[in-house]
Each structure stands twice: as C-alpha cells, then as structure tokens.
Amino acid sequence: MRIQTTCPQCISEAGIHTAFIMQPQQLIDDGIHKVVCDKGHKYTVELRAQKFEMLFDIAVNAIGDGYMREAVASFAASLERFYEFFIKYHIHSLGIDESILLNTWKEVSNQSERQLGAFTFLFLAKYNEKAQTLDSNAVGFRNRVIHKGYIPSEAEAIDFGNKVYSVIKGIAQKLELSEGKRLDSYYSSTLPCSSGTKFLLTQQSNAISMGHKINGTSFRDYKSILKQFRIDDVR
C-alpha cells in the first residue's frame, strides 16, 4: 500500500493554487516516512495510526487491488494487533511499569494463541463477561487461507473482513464507553511520532481511526468502509 502526499515546501514556495504532482510513498512499518520530492525537498509524513488500523487499511486496499489472500492475511493480522493494543492498554491502565510490560510481552510476542489467551482473560477480568472473538468457521477459513494456500473469492475476503471488523468494533466501542479520555490519551501517546524535521505532514488511517470520533465513536457501518474504498459488497 502507498500513501499519497504533496511536498509542503513546494506548496509554500509556489502558492496553493498551483497544481502539484502527488508524491507516492510506500507504507513502512513504523509509520514514519522520510520523503524527498522531485525537486529535492525533504519532508516527513507521519501515519498517525495504530498498527491494527494500518493493517486494516492494507487489507481493504488489497481487496480493491484484487489480492484476496493478502487481504485475508492482513485482516487476521489486524485483529491480532488489536488484541495486543487491548492487552497493553489494560496493563498500562493498571499502572504497571512499561519496561515490565515490554519484557513480559517478549514471552508471547511470537505466539498468537498465547496472545489470544491473554486477551480473553484480561477482558473477562475487566468486564466480567466473555470477549467476542472470531467463531470457529472464521478461524478455520483463516487457517485454510494462510496455512494451506487456499485462494479465497472476493466475497469470502469481504465477509471475513466484516467478521474481523465486527469483533474490533464491538470491543473498541466498549473501551470507548468505559475508558473515555484515558483511552484517548493512551492511544495518542502510542502513535508514531517523529522529531527533528522542518516540514511535517500527518495522515490518519481511513477504515478505522480511533483518534477521529463522530458522535462519541470511531466506528461506522462496514458497508460504508467498502464504499469509501470503492468496493462493492458482493456477498
């Protein structure tokens, strides 16, 4: 996936009414993009998004580009990283030192099943109810795609994305309702952040952005996300 930007120095020098060529930049892991425009101007683009938000964008873009296996893999990774976000936020909210959290996370960082277990029991302890997770059919489908090389149809990829979105939306909205400003503060403090740059642009993720709320929530109907990415719901 690529992000599209326009050089801020070119705009500053030439004026806002001049037409500029968009500068494509390949998305990178840390969300901090060092860009050099065609005139040699240097600037930085921050993608102000959590990893699960970036991955969900990648997944929906992959559907639009016709890469269904990649879409399913990215949807699945987005959900896993959302579980990580929940775990780290909950531990942070208990006042546990960040260094202890990071050292403990190393014990499960390469084991998704342990991460899922940690999430489900932390959710239980926090809300006194069982957490919503993917059902067995969705898990089986994900495993067929990722581990057995199954090539899904567009309809299957869209449907799996809907199931992942439903899980993320349900849990995140519960967090938004119960945690309020404390969640907002943690979310903002853990976003990609650069320093020492004269020209800085920021962008948000498009499908999910917990930093952008309307009527108290960051979430909307899944079909509206597909429409935003110009994808028809073919289920």
Per DSSP, the residues of 29-68 read: TTSEEEEE-TT--EEEEEE---HHHHHHHHHHHHHHHT-H
pTM for the full predicted model: 0.91
3-state secondary structure of 214: strand
pLDDT of residue 17: 55
The span from the first CA to the last CA of the chain, in angstroms, equals 24
pLDDT of residue 224: 95
Average pLDDT over residues 188-197: 88
Q: Which two tokens stand for residue 40?
A: 């040699």
pLDDT tens-digit map of 114-159: 999 999 999 999 999 999 999 999 999 999 999 999 999 999 999 9
Q: Would you call 118 exposed, middle or buried from its count of C-beta atoms within 10 A (0-12, 13-18, 19+)?
A: buried
The answer to whether 154 and 63 have CB atoms below 8 angstroms apart is yes
3-state secondary structure of 190: coil
pLDDT tens-digit map of 35-77: 888 888 888 999 999 999 999 999 999 999 999 999 999 999 9
